[in-house]
A = this chain, B = another copy of it.
Amino acid sequence: MPQTPQFTKKRPDGDTHDRMICDRCGFIDYVNPKIVVGSVISADNGKIVMCRRAIEPRSGFWTIPAGYLEVNETTTHGAEREAWEEACARITITDLLAVYNIPRISQVQLIYRARLAAPDIAPGQESLEVGLFEWNEIPWDELAFPSVHWALDHFDSVRTKDAFAPFTNPPGDMGNMMPGQTSS
């Protein structure tokens, strides 16, 4: 059985930053910012797809389908995959809705606007339940993350627009807990 890694913060020769280096094996853990991809998905009747999280952080709270971009995946394919994994939703991405930055946790979120391409949705492994919500039925007090609220508000503000410049963080708001924050 392997031992557990034992990391110490040191600066490798010729590096500009300290890195976490394993005392046992010498592995240097280079940390890069991470990309979260997700989508605000509306049905033909205007209702919005929401998922109640089955996993931490914020298990039991509501979110839009979003998660980490995988290696060798494009950002739109990643958003489509997350919609399928979390809500069994087939979607058609129409626009880039927003780019949110969460520098404290080195996270960049690319959130797309999408249409529900097939009417049926169902909870995926990471969801307790999924639903299609009218705007005023959205569980605003039980949203999992600030960026979910940002994305829903930004989506609603461009419902009538065919094309628009993507949104960024609300002024002065660098966010806190974000989707997938505790994932690697």
**Interface set of A (CB-CB < 8 Å, partner B):** 1-6, 17, 21-35, 68-77, 95-96, 99, 101, 103-104, 106, 108, 110, 163-166, 184
Instruction: Known contacts A96-B166, A108-B69, A163-B164; decide if A22 and B2 are in contact (CB<8 Å).
Output: yes
| Least distance between A112 CB and chain B CB atoms (Å) | 10
Complex CA distance for A99 and B110, rounded to whole angstroms:
10
CB contacts (< 8 Å) of A74 on chain B: these are: 101, 103
A6 touches B33 (CB 8 A): no
B25 and A3 form a contact (CB under 8 A): yes
Q: Which of B17, B22, B101, B165 contacts A165 (CB 8 A)?
A: B165
Contacts of A29 in B (CB 8 A): 27, 29
Take A73-B33, A106-B71, A108-B75 as given contacts and tell me if A28 and B184 are in contact as well, using a CB distance cutoff of 8 Å: yes
Complex Cα spacing A31 to B70, Å: 8
A35: chain B residues at CB < 8 Å are 32-33, 35, 108
Q: Are A96 and B165 in contact, with the CB atoms below 8 A?
A: yes
Max count, chain B CB within 10 A of own CB: residue among A33, A68, A101: A33
In the assembled complex, which residues on chain B have CB atoms less than 8 Å from the CB atom of A99? 75, 96, 110
